[in-house]
Structure 1
Amino acid sequence: MTTRRIHNFNAGPAALPLEVLQQAASELEDFNDTGMSIMEHSHRGESYEEVHNEAIALVKRLLDIQADYEVLLLQGGASLQFAMVPYNLLAPSQKANYMMTGSWSEKAKKEADILGQTYSGASTKDENYAYIPVFDQIETDPEDAYIHVTSNNTIYGTAWQREDFERMSEWSAPVVVDMSSDIFSRTLPIENFDLIYAGAQKNLGPSGVTLVIISKAMLEKSTSITQNVPSILRYNTHADKNSLYHTPPTFAVYMLKNTLQWIENAGGLTAMEAENRKKAQLLYNVIDESNGFYQGHAHPDSRSDMNVTFTLPSEALTDRFLQEAKDLHFIGLNGHRSVGGCRASIYNAVSYESCKALRDFMISFQINNQ
């Protein structure tokens, strides 16, 4: 049976690589000639354990993670990490520093506010989060429990750039990064981060598993903070049990493993980064050359390669654009209500061909509606 694949620009859950979906379909009933699905295997059994350990090994290979970090596969999405981070890292005598660059930063800080003291060393709310803070103007303190950054802001189409990541080594406090929407889309200076967390449903696979990368030094530091924290909310609990403290989301981990294998086979993060930059530039070129017909929300030097946000001259034109796009099998282009307009989420699995097709549609729509 031939399946029609549409142009999927959903912000998340998002597009998955076709090869990964096809592999899952072929193995769904009978995984590795075991006579049952991976979803039916015990998480204590050899068949699942191989999948689990290979997923962790792929994370380490692709990101070049050294032995002084632990890789955890958890549940609850990034939203649970908003609480787990302060539960594990925020001592009563300290403050946590949150860089405010969007709604997810706000939600992360709100959870931390319940558990301890926080402040914001920078905020771009003055322009509806249209830019990333100027690095030299960010306030930090060596006594900060940690500095929290959201690396890519899906709603607003902004992202911290490589040079920002490089300069985070200048901060004296630990660095925690929510990379839910851009991890594995580009190379990273892992050594500059003390904890990374990411929900899976953008570049890692389907929703259900959450990746956490934490330095062993941070794990050690957390021991004195988590004495009154429930066991399941302690990073050390999961590190000690190889993320098998309780039943993991086995199918999500299996899909994570297959997605990471697809990334590795495609050339790893260097190849992903180059392809993502090409895809994003297709769309940004249309915006920049439209003489104002399309207006990008993000400042050019803060643009995301994962989420391209833009508005049209009127709400009526926006509605027409979205309807005609839907008729041509482009989905997921509605902008978030806090920004309006349109948003194209172009994660790893969104093909260059889909981005080119959207580029062509944007150009023709402008010609027909000026």
Structure 2
Amino acid sequence: MGARVVDVVVVGAGVIGAACADALSSAGLRVTVLDRGPLASGTSAAGEGNILVSDKEPGPELDLALSSLSRWPTLVGGTDIEWDPKGGLVVATGDPAPLAHFAAVQREAGIDARWITPAEALEREPHLTTRVTAAVHYPQDAQVQPVLATQALLSNVRRRGGVLRPGVTVVGLDARGVHTSEGIIACDHVVNACGPWSGEVSRTLGAPIAIAPRRGMVLVTAPLPPTVRHKVYDADYVGAVASGDADLQTSTVVESTAAGTILIGSSRERVGFDESIRVRVLRELARKAVALFPTLADVPVMRAYGGFRPYAPDHLPVIGADPRVPGLWHATGHEGAGIGLAAATGALLAELLTGVTPHLNPTPFRVDRPGVLECA
């Protein structure tokens, strides 16, 4: 592909696509962002906005998370994205040994994981169940409002002269450029940042990768006085995140928002793109949340919503060039950690695309690793 009016077309206007477009436009490239729906309306609109280190074991994903954590506070300037460095609290109500081991391993990797007593946990969260046997406080965990964060990144792109085009569907790719429902866009590079739909779009672009949707659901309570101060979850959550099981997995996650509502999760289930509300899942989430915070038993639920996470077979994001199609790049597979990993993902992809020495080792995220291509 030769010199074009557009240097890069980013397909997907969720937080990962927005972060990639932000980093690329910051590097001086001419960027156009496409999305078949409204901007920031897919997975990023269905998330909780978590920026976590507490749920990641030492390795490439934790390195990516730490890099993102350091970038998020200044990435969107003074824009209000409801940045809240609230910290996380992971609690055990049974055998504390697995949680103690996990926290110890994280501390060895440089994470601020503070082992606290049940009494200290109750001081931090007075409404917590007295059945807690142990807890770990993670001061580094934070939260943003995901739609505001995504829109702020896209505003950066627009301010630098980038073009945002919602309602445009990609239908192919060849030497002339990206074929869309609105015509051909000539460009040098294309970034597939379509989240759970990345597998489908990768096939359209002629280079299939093994990304599939993983369904999750969240309950939202009516606004309450200050009730939950941290992101609080039970020790089972880490295992549910790392599991590859297609069947339903639930674990207790409870946290407040700036509006005073309480978000209750989390569930994971591979059911394709089935959007139906599953009452049995909501009942399970509610039951486990009340077990962790008994005071929630009489709180009205205002609504429930669900979304799809981009699931990769080895639970690592896919970031980099596709070896099969010149000019094609992928940034996807972050599952439920997209908000937290977005800032560093955008930076890493821009570094690789522009030939700058990457700030992280990109090899673990390469597209041509076992499973990502072989299972496609």
TM over 0.5: no
The structure where strand makes up a greater share of residues is 2
The structure where helix makes up a greater share of residues is 1
Question: Structure 1 length normalisation: TM-score?
Answer: 0.25
